Amino acid sequence: MGDEYLKIDGSLGEGGGQVLRVALCLSALYKIPIEIDNIRAGRPKPGLSAQHLKGVELVTKMCNAEVTGAELGSTNLKFKPGSMLHKKHELTADTKTAGCICLLIQVALPCALFASKAGTYILKGGTNVPFGPQIEYFKNVFRPLLKKFGGFFELDILRRGYYPQGGGEVHMRVTPVRNLKAVHLLDPGIPIDVRGWSFVAGSVNIIEAQKMTNDAKTKIIQELKKCDITTPPVEIITYKEPRNSAVGHGSGINIMCKTSRDCVFGGSGLGSKQRTPTPPGIEAANQLLYPILADACVDEHLQDQMIILMVLAKGLSKIRIGKNDLTCHAATAKQVAEIMLGSRGLSFTMNQDTNGSKILECNGLGLQNEFLD
């Protein structure tokens, strides 16, 4: 390997896996050799966990990279990307733990969109686990956002995996694009439809799912009424997973809201044996309500995902994030992107409209898929 590596401090911002994921994506896509030090320095167990290591290995295969430091617990990684020319139609990443599958998707999907050919990605680990998005969120909330940018993926959930066993399996199919297009999301509209799924698996009683459903519906209706917002239909399906479609014992709830301006918000909660300050149904409702009450076009969990799409898109993107600042995860993603691509003309600005809502703008670099020219 050569010596010209862009050095990145892994303790930036939230000090977790976000720095690693964004840096790997942009390294692979823009062919920038990187060295990341202090990986996950802000976490109780610093360094690469099984989930992060499998993300590194997956992107390594996708861009034929040369890597040193790719081992469990490593706090330093050197990554020198090669070509995105795929030799295989199918790639597999298995955390062999309850590592979050959605975080594997976060690091792999941007690269897959600019690969040489369509591919299937077989991802194994946790589908509904703490400290990461639930798989339904990615399918029902993130996918519509990606579609606005001009990208698409298919997602099949073959088996759910819960903490601590894992064992879930998801198949993602991605067709590459020539480029992504800039978006303007400036008017959130009003809620027109709320629906969701509340489920239990294994030995967890269906009563838990029913409670999550009731808690979420009650909270949503009460808060919208209190704020004088017309309440749309709220439909949450309650069910128990068949024995052969889930590994382990778990419960959770995922809800989504569509608006009159085609915005989609999400909220999620997970059941736990330990008592938590906020019941999962209430937590999911709070997450869903936040962008509605904040006059935003994306929810908080979409913010960090929109950053990399804005960077890659061709032209000026504008997205209304509401009255608060960017989340820590989104701010970290933005900072890493600026470090890696600022010299190429990447720029972000934050403006404010007359109502006090903040609008993030990004003059994207317009990455072109070299294989589709």
228 among the known binding-site residues?
A: no
Query: What is the rounded distance in angstroms from the CA atom of residue 188 to the CA atom of residue 190?
Result: 7
**Residue 277 shares a structural domain with residue 201:** yes
Specify the CATH number for the domain of residue 114.
Answer: 3.65.10.20
Residue 348 lies in a domain: no
Residues 195 and 267 in one domain: yes
Q: Is 335 annotated as a binding residue?
A: no
Q: What is the overall mean pLDDT for the chain?
A: 94
Considering only CA atoms, which of 122, 67, 133 is closest in space to residue 92? Answer: 122
Inside any domain, residue 198? yes
Report the predicted TM-score, pTM, of the whole model to 2 decimal places: 0.94
Q: From the candidates 86, 184, 249, 329, which is the catalytic residue?
A: 329
Looking at the structure, do residues 79 and 92 belong to the same domain, yes or no? no
222 is in an annotated binding site: no
Same domain, 138 and 173: yes
Please tell me whether residues 111 and 164 are part of one structural domain.
yes
CATH number of domain containing 59: 3.30.110
CA 49, CA 54: separation in Å to the nearest integer? 9
DSSP secondary structure string, 6-48?
EEEETTSTT-SHHHHHHHHHHHHHHT--EEEESTTTTSSS-S-
Q: What is the mean pLDDT of residues 291-302?
A: 96
Amino acid at 304: D
User: CB neighbours of 291 closer than 8 A, spacing ≥ 6?
Assistant: 188, 263, 265, 297, 298, 299, 300, 322
Instruction: Please check if 210 is assigned to a binding site.
Output: no
Same domain as 170, residue 223: no
- Pair of tokens at residue 16: 């977790």
58 in Cβ contact with 91 (< 8 Å): yes
Q: What is the pLDDT of residues 191-211, one digit of tens each?
A: 999 999 999 999 999 999 999
The verdict on residue 47 lying in a domain is: yes
Half-sphere exposure of 193 (CA within 13 A, CB side): 8
330 inside domain: no
122 plus 28 within the same structural domain: no
40 shares a domain with 15: yes
Confidence (pLDDT) at 86: 78
List of residues 6+ apart from 338 with CB closer than 8 A? 346, 348
Could you tell me the pLDDT band of residue 275, with boundaries at 50, 70 and 90? low
Residue with tokens 């081992």: 71
pLDDT digits (tens, 9 = 90+) for 34-56: 999 999 998 889 999 999 999 99
Q: Pull the structure tokens for residue 60.
A: 């390594």
Closest-CA residue to 101 (of 120, 74, 119, 128):
128
- Rounded to an integer, the average pLDDT of 361-373 is 94
Q: Domain holding 273: CATH number? A: 3.30.360.20
Under a CB-based contact definition with an 8 Å cutoff, are residues 367 and 312 in contact?
A: yes
283 is a domain residue: yes
Both 198 and 141 in one domain: the answer is no
- Where do we find the tokens 């950053």? 307
The tally of domains found in the chain comes to 3
User: Which tokens sit at 342?
Assistant: 């600022």
Verify whether residue 249 is a known catalytic residue.
Answer: no
How large a percentage of the chain has pLDDT more than 70?
98
* 355: pLDDT strictly greater than 90: no
Of 38, 54, 84, the domain-final residue: 84
3-state secondary structure of 270: strand
Q: Are 309 and 367 in contact (CB under 8 A)?
A: no
114 lies in some domain: yes
Residues 195 and 290 occupy one common structural domain? yes
157 & 199 share domain:
no
Does the structure show a pLDDT above 70 at 225? yes
For residue 238, the enclosing domain spans 191-294
The first and second tokens of residue 345, run together, are 């003309």
* Residue 158 assigned to a binding site: no
- Asked whether residue 268 is assigned to any structural domain, the reply reads yes
Last residue of a domain, one of 254, 272, 294: 294
- The tens digit of pLDDT for each residue in 80-92 reads 999 998 777 899 9
Together in a domain, 49 and 96: no
Band of pLDDT at residue 27, cut at 50, 70 and 90: very high
pLDDT of 305 above 90 = yes
Return the pLDDT at 274: 62
Name the amino acid, one letter, at 174: V
Strands 184-185 and 246-247: unpaired
Q: In the structure encoding, which two tokens stand for residue 258, read together?
A: 């569509």
CA–CA separation, 21 vs 332, rounded Å?
11
Residue 338 within a domain: no
51 annotated to bind ligand: no
In the listed set 154, 177, 200, which residue is the last one of a domain according to the structure? Answer: 177
